[in-house]
Amino acid sequence: MPVLPAILRVLLVWLLIVAAETLQGGLRRMLFDPDVEFAVRQVSVLTGAVVIFLITWSCIRWLKIRTSMGALGVGLLWVVLTLGFEVLIGRALGLGWARIAADYDLLHGGLMPLGLLAMALTPWTVRWLKARRLKPAVSTGEGGAAPS
């Protein structure tokens, strides 16, 4: 089986993230009253960040990100793709620019910029956490790990 190019792996994981987030949005619309939609969208930023983290954690080895800068680059690409996707879908659903922008207005409770920041940093964070898990403990000779 041929090895997929790095950019294709990054795009496929992003599509998985978008699919999971779209499912979350659909469930939100089915389960919650429109009167609480804005508050639920705010909570969805946190749950979305958790979903992104879990997907990235599961796929990080397959992504084969070799450097910290590479991980940050992947996160930034995901953010740019997500912004484009959000705008295109919003417009396709007939949402006005003001409604789309409301999710990005921190001063009025829109938390999407925080979600995008989390998305941007998730590949770097997961790579760092996985690297720490794989490092062997340094022995002090007394059975304990050396202080860091």
pLDDT at site 146: 44
- Is position 96 within any domain? yes
The pLDDT of residue 137: 58
Number of domains in the chain: 1
Q: Give residue-wise pLDDT tens across range 25-77.
A: 888 888 888 788 778 878 889 999 999 999 999 999 999 999 999 999 999 99
Q: Which domain holds residue 43?
A: 6-126
Find the Cα–Cα–Cα–Cα dihedral 122, 114, 30, 36, rounded to 10°: 160
Asked whether residue 73 is domain-assigned, the answer is yes
- Domain membership of residue 44 (yes or no) is yes
pTM of the model: 0.83
Distance CA 34, CA 96 (A): 17
- The predicted-structure confidence for 6-28, as pLDDT tens digits, reads as follows 999 999 999 999 999 999 888 88
